[in-house]
Chain A
Amino acid sequence: MTEPITLQQDETFVLNVGPQHPATHGVLRVKMTMDGEYIYNAETVLGYIHRMHEKMAENRTYPQYMPNMGRLDYLSAMSFNHGYALVVERACNIEVPERAEYIRVITVELNRIASHLVWLGAYVLDLGGFTPLMYCFDDREQILDLLEAVTGSRLTYCYFRFGGLYNDIDDDFITGTRAFITHFRKELKMYAKLVTGNVILMKRLKGHGPVDQNMCQRYGATGPVARGSGINYDVRRNEPYSVYPDFDFEVPVFTEGDSYARYLVRMEEMEQSLRIIEQALDKLPDGPINPKKKPKLIKPPPGDYFAAVETARGNFGIRMVSDGGKNAYRMKLRSPTYSNMHLFDEACRGMLIADALAFMGSLDLVIPEMDR
């Protein structure tokens, strides 16, 4: 529909999208050189909420650093908890009890659904449809209530402990989660009718924002962005951690590589997360949630360690260099949207601003996680 016109550089102007702009959902700035409504060039400017979490890791003991994980990606904080717990457990060789692993999976998947719900609402809002946002937040609220009862916080979770969890789940949580699954299955059907099948939405998303596999490789895009481009890559599957191999779930992959494919991936993922939660609740074993034997003081042996998890936005990798002390010598947080957003600069060239912002929304940005 929109063939990029030949752009004439001498007739351009610079449009600052952000740091305060309704479409960036946070303090992200994209300096767009425009030719009329066509984007000639875009340069993303980051760092408006950079907090230097990596330096904080060098000043805190390992358990003290756990709360920082909730502050990176405020929408899927649970996955970040998981990633950090994994790397320290790997370094210190801590065994995690079976029950704790299952509860971890349940909470992470619930959090993933909550994250995708916020994305869905905000994305349709970007496209000018306000109502789905309210429905999404309504459903998300139920997840937050469930998680709040168990973890004590609504958004910035610090629920995981090395080798286990802070708190065991109770029967209320289990019945509540089961009720939510039944309720949310119906809601997903409603979203499919209200949003997915909408003609205007399809026209705006199909064929726009192309990301091909080579681009994914060059930029290191992961998560729904890669899966929307036909790359069957999900850390839960490709590099199984925790008890994910126990569950039967599908990794949705769409080959179109456009905004609509990424949209469908996330919609499908919510469904799959429901399946995982259901199976985990069925199989949930009894037992302790914290290991019997656990070092009093977390002091990983010298060396470097790596762990990766699949967050709602893609591959979150955490590289920890230890010198054997109480604090990490170096902690590198590899956040998924950092790489996913990077390809925006290249991909949006020649797009109309409306399509480019629809594309940006389909990358599902969470700015604190990019800026760290």
Chain B
Amino acid sequence: MSLTLFNVVLAVIIAISFVGLNAAYLVWCERKGAGLFQRRPGPMENGPWGLLQPPVDGVKLMTKQLLIPGGVDKAIFMVAPVLAMFPALISFVTIPFSENIVAHPIDVGVLMIFAFAALGGMSLLVAGWGSRNKYSMISSVRAVSQTVAYEIPLMITTITVVMISGSLNLGDIVQTQLGGFWHWNIWPLQKQVGFNLLMPFSFLILFVCSVAETNRAPFDLGEAESELVAGFHTEYSSMGFGLFFMGEYANIVIGACLTVILFLGGWACPVGDLGFFPFTHHVGWFLLKIYLIIFVFIWIRWTFPRTTIYGLLNLSWKYLIPISLFNLLLTAGLLKVF
């Protein structure tokens, strides 16, 4: 794929609209999902099954006044929401939706996604710092320690997968998992490593970390509404809040994409390559998988109460990091053996 200006613009537009649509309609899915778990219909008023709710919400958010409280650090305050949305957008550039549909394949795609994910944590810090609000401040401090604690096992787990695949390119990682669901990295039996019992646990670690990274319940300590009101976005109104909100959902999609690509074979069909319609076929599988993962995200959110910050950090430092480190060593050893 040649890197022309046209291609880049097209890729960015497609990425933005995909993220935007996803973010908007994931809110709808979230509310419908919540309704499903709570014996109620969810949004029903706007359009059939409330399908027009997201655009109406968007209009409402955009027409509200962007309130800047007195005494805030204006520059930081304004930059933070953009900072929340931007990395999620950029990360989509390198996500392979199928063999051919990828905005711009980068050889170090995994690295790029992590680089921008770290920037997302930065946005929470900046938002809390700039808000001149004690709740926001506590929340941003929490968010940073949470990000640090969960990026480590996330990366170690990813490195394990990268070692197996031998590539940092997300497309290549999927390529090594083609040919049926038994080739996916989630299973202990892999041709490169023989038998590694810890792989399912690695998948769980990655999944838990992506829940924590995206600040989702039960790890939504950054915004813990019963303790910190709304955490880092307490002071944000209008689209400032809207961008945080959309950023959260964009991050969920990124997290789900990463989980699917690293462990669930990306766009690979679960029962080998059926051959017909390779184009739609593959992208369909990819979307199906990420939405399944997102459904689990929603399911978890509406089922479990929130943990506490020390519980969260304990989980990461005492369990997830040692296990993922051990798995890294084990995988490295197995790679040498086989």
Question: Residues of A at under 8 Å CB distance from B?
Answer: 1-2, 13, 15, 21-23, 37, 124-131, 134-135, 138, 194, 198, 200-201, 203-204, 352-355, 357
Contacts and interface: CB of A to CB of B under 8 A. Distances in A.
Nearest to A129: B305
B226 A204 contact: no
Contact of B217 (A21, A128, A201): A128
24 contacts: A1-B314, A15-B138, A22-B225, A22-B226, A23-B226, A23-B227, A124-B305, A128-B220, A128-B304, A128-B306, A129-B306, A134-B38, A134-B39, A200-B304, A200-B305, A201-B305, A203-B307, A203-B311, A204-B307, A204-B311, A353-B138, A354-B224, A354-B308, A357-B227
Contact of B34 (A37, A130, A355): A130
B226 A127 contact: yes
Interface of B: 34, 37-40, 134-135, 138, 217-218, 220, 224-227, 229, 302-311, 314
Nearest to A128: B306
B308 A22 contact: no
B38 A131 contact: yes
B86 to A, nearest CB: 28
A79 B217 CA distance: 37
Contacts of B306: 127-129, 200
A129 B226 CA distance: 10
A127 B225 CA distance: 9
Contacts of B220: 128
B302 A131 contact: yes
Contacts of A1: 310-311, 314
Given A128-B217, A200-B304, 10 more contacts: A1-B311, A2-B310, A37-B309, A124-B305, A128-B304, A128-B306, A134-B39, A194-B303, A200-B307, A204-B307
Nearest to B37: A131
A13 B135 CA distance: 12
Contacts of B302: 130-131
Contact of B305 (A13, A15, A127, A134): A127
B248 to A, nearest CB: 16
A13 B134 contact: yes
Given A131-B303, A200-B304, A200-B305, A126 B39 contact: no
B305 A352 contact: no
- Name which of B34, B134, B306 has the most chain A CB atoms within 10 A of its CB: B306
Contacts of B308: 203-204, 352, 354-355
B165 to A, nearest CB: 34
Given A128-B305, A131-B303, A200-B305, A21 B229 contact: yes
Nearest to A23: B226
Contacts of B38: 130-131, 134-135
A125 B304 CA distance: 10
A135 B226 contact: no
Nearest to B35: A134
Contacts of A200: 218, 304-307, 311
B303 A129 contact: yes
Contacts of B229: 21-22
Contacts of A204: 305, 307-308, 311
B21 to A, nearest CB: 26
Nearest to A204: B308
A129 B307 contact: no
Nearest to A126: B226
Nearest to A17: B227
Contacts of A128: 217-218, 220, 224-226, 304-306
A15 B134 contact: yes
Nearest to B134: A15
Contacts of A124: 305
A250 B91 CA distance: 60
Given A13-B134, A22-B225, A23-B227, A354 B34 contact: no
A353 B310 contact: no
Contact of A134 (B40, B134, B225): B40
A357 B37 contact: no
Nearest to B142: A37
B163 to A, nearest CB: 33
A21 B2 CA distance: 55
A357 to B, nearest CB: 5
B64 to A, nearest CB: 20
A130 B38 CA distance: 9
Nearest to B137: A13
Contacts of B224: 128, 354
Contacts of B134: 13, 15
A352 B72 CA distance: 27
A197 to B, nearest CB: 12
A126 B217 CA distance: 13
- Name which of A128, A194, A198, A355 has the most chain B CB atoms within 10 A of its CB: A128
A138 B306 CA distance: 22
A13 B138 CA distance: 11
A353 B227 contact: yes
A21 B302 CA distance: 22
Nearest to B221: A354
Contacts of A353: 138, 227
A225 to B, nearest CB: 20
B227 A354 contact: yes
Nearest to B220: A128
Contacts of B226: 22-23, 125-128, 357
A138 B40 CA distance: 10
A94 B56 CA distance: 61
Contacts of B138: 15, 37, 353
A1 B310 CA distance: 8
A364 to B, nearest CB: 15
A130 B307 CA distance: 13
Contacts of A125: 226
A280 B38 CA distance: 33
Contacts of B310: 1-2, 352
